Amino acid sequence: MRARRPNDRGFTLLELLIVSGLVIAIALVVVPSAQSALGLQTREAASKMAAAIRAMYGESVLSGRTCRLVFDLEEGAYWPECAEGRVRIVQMEESRRGQRYEAERRDRARNDLQAQAMQEIEAKSSFSALESRMVRRQELPEGVRFASVWTHHQPEPYTAGTAFLYFFPHGETERAYIHVARGDDDVYTVVVDPVTGRTRVLGERIEVPREELRR
Protein backbone atom coordinates (compact mmCIF):
# COMPACT_ATOMS: atom_id res chain seq x y z
CA MET A 1 0.00 0.00 0.00
CA ARG A 2 1.44 3.37 -1.14
CA ALA A 3 2.19 5.77 1.66
CA ARG A 4 0.37 9.11 1.54
CA ARG A 5 2.66 12.00 0.73
CA PRO A 6 2.35 15.37 2.47
CA ASN A 7 1.27 17.08 -0.78
CA ASP A 8 -1.66 14.70 -1.11
CA ARG A 9 -3.29 15.70 2.11
CA GLY A 10 -6.49 17.76 2.14
CA PHE A 11 -7.06 21.16 3.72
CA THR A 12 -6.85 21.24 7.46
CA LEU A 13 -9.47 23.00 9.55
CA LEU A 14 -6.98 25.79 10.28
CA GLU A 15 -6.32 26.34 6.58
CA LEU A 16 -10.03 26.46 5.82
CA LEU A 17 -10.55 29.02 8.56
CA ILE A 18 -7.70 31.15 7.19
CA VAL A 19 -9.09 31.03 3.64
CA SER A 20 -12.61 31.83 4.85
CA GLY A 21 -11.26 34.75 6.85
CA LEU A 22 -9.45 36.12 3.79
CA VAL A 23 -12.60 35.84 1.66
CA ILE A 24 -14.65 37.68 4.28
CA ALA A 25 -11.98 40.38 4.65
CA ILE A 26 -11.84 40.94 0.90
CA ALA A 27 -15.64 41.14 0.73
CA LEU A 28 -15.69 43.70 3.54
CA VAL A 29 -13.30 45.87 1.54
CA VAL A 30 -14.75 45.39 -1.94
CA VAL A 31 -18.46 45.85 -1.13
CA PRO A 32 -18.08 49.22 0.65
CA SER A 33 -15.70 50.36 -2.10
CA ALA A 34 -18.29 49.53 -4.75
CA GLN A 35 -21.00 51.32 -2.76
CA SER A 36 -18.71 54.30 -2.33
CA ALA A 37 -18.07 54.42 -6.08
CA LEU A 38 -21.80 54.40 -6.80
CA GLY A 39 -22.36 57.15 -4.24
CA LEU A 40 -19.62 59.20 -5.88
CA GLN A 41 -21.37 58.74 -9.22
CA THR A 42 -24.60 60.12 -7.79
CA ARG A 43 -22.82 63.11 -6.32
CA GLU A 44 -21.02 63.82 -9.59
CA ALA A 45 -24.34 63.71 -11.47
CA ALA A 46 -25.81 66.27 -9.05
CA SER A 47 -22.70 68.47 -9.27
CA LYS A 48 -22.71 68.38 -13.07
CA MET A 49 -26.36 69.44 -13.11
CA ALA A 50 -25.63 72.27 -10.67
CA ALA A 51 -22.88 73.50 -13.00
CA ALA A 52 -25.33 73.42 -15.93
CA ILE A 53 -27.79 75.54 -13.94
CA ARG A 54 -25.15 78.17 -13.21
CA ALA A 55 -24.08 78.18 -16.85
CA MET A 56 -27.67 78.70 -18.02
CA TYR A 57 -28.08 81.62 -15.64
CA GLY A 58 -25.11 83.29 -17.31
CA GLU A 59 -26.24 82.31 -20.81
CA SER A 60 -29.62 83.99 -20.34
CA VAL A 61 -28.05 87.23 -19.12
CA LEU A 62 -25.34 87.39 -21.79
CA SER A 63 -27.65 86.50 -24.68
CA GLY A 64 -30.58 88.60 -23.48
CA ARG A 65 -32.94 85.67 -23.96
CA THR A 66 -35.29 83.70 -21.75
CA CYS A 67 -33.88 80.20 -21.38
CA ARG A 68 -34.77 77.07 -19.51
CA LEU A 69 -33.54 73.63 -18.55
CA VAL A 70 -35.92 70.85 -19.47
CA PHE A 71 -35.98 67.87 -17.09
CA ASP A 72 -37.37 64.62 -18.47
CA LEU A 73 -38.06 62.63 -15.32
CA GLU A 74 -39.01 59.52 -17.27
CA GLU A 75 -35.82 59.34 -19.33
CA GLY A 76 -33.51 60.74 -16.66
CA ALA A 77 -32.21 63.47 -18.96
CA TYR A 78 -32.05 67.27 -19.13
CA TRP A 79 -31.16 69.79 -21.83
CA PRO A 80 -31.10 73.56 -22.49
CA GLU A 81 -33.52 75.60 -24.56
CA CYS A 82 -33.84 79.32 -25.26
CA ALA A 83 -36.52 81.55 -26.76
CA GLU A 84 -36.53 84.76 -28.74
CA GLY A 85 -38.86 87.50 -27.60
CA ARG A 86 -40.43 88.18 -24.23
CA VAL A 87 -41.73 85.24 -22.26
CA ARG A 88 -43.47 85.47 -18.91
CA ILE A 89 -44.25 82.48 -16.76
CA VAL A 90 -47.37 82.45 -14.61
CA GLN A 91 -48.33 80.03 -11.89
CA MET A 92 -51.24 77.80 -12.79
CA GLU A 93 -52.88 74.69 -11.42
CA GLU A 94 -50.86 71.81 -12.77
CA SER A 95 -51.40 68.08 -12.89
CA ARG A 96 -49.59 65.66 -10.65
CA ARG A 97 -48.04 64.07 -13.72
CA GLY A 98 -45.74 66.99 -14.13
CA GLN A 99 -47.02 68.04 -17.51
CA ARG A 100 -46.01 71.34 -19.02
CA TYR A 101 -47.93 74.37 -17.76
CA GLU A 102 -46.59 77.70 -18.85
CA ALA A 103 -48.17 80.88 -20.16
CA GLU A 104 -46.86 83.68 -22.32
CA ARG A 105 -48.87 86.87 -21.61
CA ARG A 106 -48.83 89.77 -24.03
CA ASP A 107 -51.10 92.67 -24.83
CA ARG A 108 -53.73 92.03 -27.49
CA ALA A 109 -53.12 93.58 -30.90
CA ARG A 110 -55.51 96.46 -31.67
CA ASN A 111 -55.22 96.40 -35.43
CA ASP A 112 -54.12 94.16 -38.27
CA LEU A 113 -50.57 95.49 -38.35
CA GLN A 114 -50.14 94.90 -34.65
CA ALA A 115 -51.67 91.45 -35.04
CA GLN A 116 -49.18 90.59 -37.77
CA ALA A 117 -46.29 91.85 -35.68
CA MET A 118 -47.58 89.87 -32.70
CA GLN A 119 -47.68 86.69 -34.76
CA GLU A 120 -44.04 87.22 -35.68
CA ILE A 121 -43.12 87.67 -32.01
CA GLU A 122 -45.09 84.56 -31.07
CA ALA A 123 -43.25 82.56 -33.70
CA LYS A 124 -39.87 83.76 -32.47
CA SER A 125 -40.67 83.16 -28.82
CA SER A 126 -41.05 79.40 -29.18
CA PHE A 127 -38.33 77.55 -27.34
CA SER A 128 -35.70 75.68 -29.29
CA ALA A 129 -32.65 73.65 -28.37
CA LEU A 130 -29.64 75.72 -27.36
CA GLU A 131 -26.40 74.99 -29.17
CA SER A 132 -23.74 75.61 -26.56
CA ARG A 133 -20.37 74.15 -25.66
CA MET A 134 -21.04 74.96 -22.01
CA VAL A 135 -24.41 73.23 -21.60
CA ARG A 136 -25.50 70.20 -23.57
CA ARG A 137 -28.04 67.45 -23.25
CA GLN A 138 -27.06 65.22 -20.36
CA GLU A 139 -28.33 61.85 -19.24
CA LEU A 140 -28.09 60.66 -15.67
CA PRO A 141 -25.82 57.64 -15.09
CA GLU A 142 -27.40 54.21 -15.14
CA GLY A 143 -29.22 53.59 -11.87
CA VAL A 144 -29.45 57.32 -11.03
CA ARG A 145 -32.80 59.08 -11.39
CA PHE A 146 -34.67 62.29 -10.67
CA ALA A 147 -36.51 61.49 -7.43
CA SER A 148 -38.39 64.79 -7.75
CA VAL A 149 -38.09 68.26 -9.28
CA TRP A 150 -39.71 71.41 -7.93
CA THR A 151 -39.41 74.90 -9.41
CA HIS A 152 -41.18 78.00 -8.17
CA HIS A 153 -43.97 78.06 -10.76
CA GLN A 154 -45.05 74.52 -9.82
CA PRO A 155 -47.67 73.95 -7.11
CA GLU A 156 -45.86 70.80 -5.94
CA PRO A 157 -42.78 68.66 -6.67
CA TYR A 158 -42.97 66.47 -9.76
CA THR A 159 -41.98 62.82 -9.61
CA ALA A 160 -42.85 62.02 -13.22
CA GLY A 161 -43.35 63.76 -16.54
CA THR A 162 -41.49 66.93 -17.52
CA ALA A 163 -40.36 69.92 -15.45
CA PHE A 164 -38.84 73.27 -16.44
CA LEU A 165 -36.43 75.64 -14.72
CA TYR A 166 -36.54 79.12 -16.29
CA PHE A 167 -33.78 81.74 -16.56
CA PHE A 168 -34.52 85.37 -17.36
CA PRO A 169 -32.26 87.92 -19.11
CA HIS A 170 -32.48 90.47 -16.31
CA GLY A 171 -30.50 88.11 -14.08
CA GLU A 172 -33.02 85.95 -12.29
CA THR A 173 -34.12 82.34 -12.23
CA GLU A 174 -36.57 80.30 -10.15
CA ARG A 175 -36.04 78.86 -6.71
CA ALA A 176 -35.72 75.13 -7.17
CA TYR A 177 -35.19 71.89 -5.25
CA ILE A 178 -34.01 68.99 -7.41
CA HIS A 179 -33.49 65.54 -5.94
CA VAL A 180 -31.08 63.15 -7.66
CA ALA A 181 -31.04 59.64 -6.24
CA ARG A 182 -29.82 56.09 -6.52
CA GLY A 183 -32.19 53.88 -4.60
CA ASP A 184 -33.86 55.30 -1.51
CA ASP A 185 -30.86 56.18 0.64
CA ASP A 186 -28.33 57.71 -1.76
CA VAL A 187 -29.99 61.09 -2.38
CA TYR A 188 -28.54 64.51 -3.24
CA THR A 189 -30.45 67.79 -3.31
CA VAL A 190 -29.59 70.66 -5.65
CA VAL A 191 -30.96 73.94 -4.28
CA VAL A 192 -31.12 76.96 -6.61
CA ASP A 193 -31.07 80.59 -5.45
CA PRO A 194 -33.43 82.64 -7.66
CA VAL A 195 -31.55 85.93 -7.40
CA THR A 196 -27.92 84.91 -7.83
CA GLY A 197 -28.35 81.64 -9.70
CA ARG A 198 -26.01 79.99 -7.24
CA THR A 199 -26.49 76.35 -6.40
CA ARG A 200 -25.90 74.17 -3.36
CA VAL A 201 -25.38 70.43 -3.61
CA LEU A 202 -26.36 68.72 -0.36
CA GLY A 203 -25.74 65.06 0.41
CA GLU A 204 -29.23 64.42 1.74
CA ARG A 205 -32.86 64.89 0.79
CA ILE A 206 -33.97 68.43 1.64
CA GLU A 207 -37.70 68.85 1.21
CA VAL A 208 -39.25 71.97 -0.28
CA PRO A 209 -40.18 74.31 2.60
CA ARG A 210 -43.91 74.30 3.23
CA GLU A 211 -44.14 78.06 2.79
CA GLU A 212 -42.77 77.70 -0.75
CA LEU A 213 -45.56 75.38 -1.82
CA ARG A 214 -48.82 76.83 -3.02
CA ARG A 215 -51.92 75.82 -1.12
Q: Where do the domains of the chain lie, and which CATH numbers do they carry?
A: 10-212 (3.55.40.10)
Give me the pLDDT at residue 95, please: 36
- Degrees to nearest 5, angle at CA 133 with 132 and 138: 85
Which residues contact residue 97 at a Cβ distance below 8 angstroms, ignoring those fewer than 6 apart? Answer: 158, 160, 161
Task: Give the Cα separation of 136 and 190 in Å (integer).
Answer: 18
What is the distance between the alpha carbons of residues 71 and 69, in angstroms, rounded to a whole number?
6
Q: Taking residues 186-200, report their average pLDDT.
A: 96
pLDDT exceeds 70 at position 194: yes
What is the Cα Rg of the chain in Å?
26
User: Would the pLDDT of 4 be above 90?
Assistant: no
Give the whole-angstrom CA distance, residue 182 versus residue 141. 10
Question: Residue 190: which of 34, 65, 69 has the closest Cα?
Answer: 69
* C-alpha angle 44-197-72 in degrees, rounded to nearest 5: 55
Cβ atoms of residues 149 and 109 within 8 Å: no
Range in 28-42, 86-100, 176-190 with the lowest mean pLDDT: 86-100
Residue 166 has pLDDT above 80, yes or no: yes
DSSP state of 118: H
211 pLDDT band, cuts 50/70/90, is: confident
pLDDT category, 126, cuts 50, 70, 90? confident
Q: pTM surpassing 0.85?
A: no
